[in-house]
Structure 1
């Protein structure tokens, strides 16, 4: 049986402000669309974006900006549901929920990457942060009896802590596209190259890595840091680099396109992720697929995507000395680095978007059929 699926996500894959949640949704649902199912996606508008277009088989319908999109979703849903019969609605819950159980009549599945909790205070103003926190506190009450999909074991445990039973939670892991992320032999930089790959957001704590670099270059003067990604915190990070007199050691590259990113990930000797919280850590597996180990904070999501001592190292979040020590340990020990590179490559091979899409489709079928 072929289904008509409505996917609601704040942003779509074409939005330059998108991140791992958008990649996760697009990679899974373009495969579901490729199997003959009709997938319609609601997302917010962004500059120069058409109100409607089809991307990889997904019909993307946009309305409202980021600040008002959630308020426009109920009316957009009602209009669409009058025009056509929907079989199921997928609510990609991220930051401020859409509260779809309050107005959606069809079977419903929610996707949860992670709940920000107090980490949102690292990103935005007190007023905006508490707006997000209030929205998250309503999730257990409003979504408690709906089927939820978590992207990691950490997220499942967090939902448990918020009072949602395991009986209502499935886990669908992120995948990897081996045609986008792969090993390029002979591409490692001749000098020790530390990398950051991902969005440049305040809450990601990239400043920890920059401060750690100051400690690293005292021991390894030819080490360098390459920061690959885009985001609204880049100027602040550049100012910090200047303040710490690290300009000769740091380079920023504004791209997130896999065609370019794969080259940089292959050049890096080690990637660092100092975030206090992730849903899973998709960029970790993308780095691993390029044969690059990762040093990450021992925080939610990252402790799922990094196998400590096998694909990289975990360190206590916020401990800049330990972060620097782990980086130095990897780039100064060739035998250890090669072991971690092999472990990273083998770990990445375990993840497949095809498998993730198949698991999601199985959940959709069960929910639609009431089983």
Structure 2
């Protein structure tokens, strides 16, 4: 089968995140199963990647930026892709590629989360209003009758709220790359260490984590904060940290390799995600697999990936988050208990199961 994927980024993109991990883990397995997979995506604004290349057996075609890629998609399809593919995967990241308007091929739409107010964190007006309007009204209208895969129950509920039929939305959780003999669980850092790992975007609110860290230090003077990742807000965040009183306690690492990521997830005492909302959180589950519990606000997605009181804690306010972090750092027996629970929780997620469920949907749509 020849599969065409429309996604706004690929794994080599500077802003690649959990969404890219999700689709590329599937694509690699499809290639291994004998399918031909092509990904059409945007160029990277920070590094000039090749317009066409192949890695992990996947054909990559890059055109346009984060906005114009949506205009290039139908042009490329009609000029180069038409009659060459059997199935389309259309990935919605705030807005979809509107493939029903230019292709009659069977298709599946992936939605990681409904962005909602995130548009107003990330984009200036009028772009924020346009994005909000398109996602709330245009997207459900154009995709009426199109099968949708949601990454969590939270995302499915949000899709139903904006007009999708419940019967057309299937929840398929992401897998994770689990520890093995070569990248197993390591001994924790000697100092209480908090970890944020992910993109540094406005809606992720990593600056809030930096701000409350001074309050964490009042009860845990040996504590350290490690921030791994990059994004549009990274430069500003680095400046805040370097000018701050606790710059020697906060380490901003930038993008990290897979081996570095595994080491950080394994050795940190606690994973913290202060985001306003997620579709799920692969990083939370990966941290859990290494015995690292998580703390986040009680927001969509994260309130589903974190089992409150079992694999981590969910906070209702900034003050409450400080209290939740302090509890885990200072209560060793509680920390060890939820660490064990987190490992057990993470065991049920694997990419093979995810791929099987998605492929079953694809096969049913091609009948």
Please state which band the TM-score falls in when normalised by the shorter chain.
Answer: over 0.9
Residue deviations 1:11-64, cap 9 Å, x none? 111212111111110001111121111111111122321121222121112222
2: CA distance, partners of 1:32 / 1:241? 43
Matched residue, 2:102: 103
1: CA distance, partners of 2:284 / 2:346? 9
Contact 2:87 2:106 (C-alpha < 8 Å) held by counterparts: yes
Most deviating of 270-279 and 120-129 = 120-129
The answer to whether 1:127 aligns with 2:118 is: no
Contact 2:179 2:185 (C-alpha < 8 Å) held by counterparts: no
Shift of 1:211: 1.9
Most deviating of 242-251 and 301-310 = 242-251
Matched residue, 1:9: 7
Contact 1:182 1:289 (C-alpha < 8 Å) held by counterparts: no
Shift of 1:244: 4.8
Q: Spell out the pairing of 1:257-268 with structure 2 (5 A cutoff).
A: 257-268=257-268
Contact 1:41 1:58 (C-alpha < 8 Å) held by counterparts: yes
Residue deviations 1:149-181, cap 9 Å, x none? 000000000001011111101111110112589
Q: Spell out the pairing of 1:230-245 with structure 2 (5 A cutoff).
A: 230-242=230-242, 244-245=244-245
Q: Secondary structure at 2:71's aligned position in 1? A: helix
Moved over 6 A (4+): none
Unaligned runs of 5+ in 1: none
2: CA distance, partners of 1:250 / 1:87? 50
The answer to whether 1:274 aligns with 2:274 is: yes
Contact 2:3 2:86 (C-alpha < 8 Å) held by counterparts: yes
Matched residue, 1:30: 28
Matched residue, 1:218: 218
Contact 2:90 2:109 (C-alpha < 8 Å) held by counterparts: yes
Sort the Cα spacing of 1:267 and 1:179 in 2 relative to 1 into closer, same or farther, 3 A: closer
The answer to whether 1:290 aligns with 2:318 is: no
Unaligned runs of 5+ in 2: none
Matched residue, 2:351: 353
2: CA distance, partners of 1:104 / 1:304? 35
TM (normalized to structure 1)?
0.94
CA RMSD of aligned residues (A): 1.6
1: CA distance, partners of 2:235 / 2:102? 41
Q: Spell out the pairing of 1:62-81 with structure 2 (5 A cutoff).
A: 62-81=62-81
Shift of 1:291: 1.2
Shift of 1:242: 4.8
1: CA distance, partners of 2:61 / 2:233? 29
Q: Spell out the pairing of 1:293-308 with structure 2 (5 A cutoff).
A: 293-308=293-308
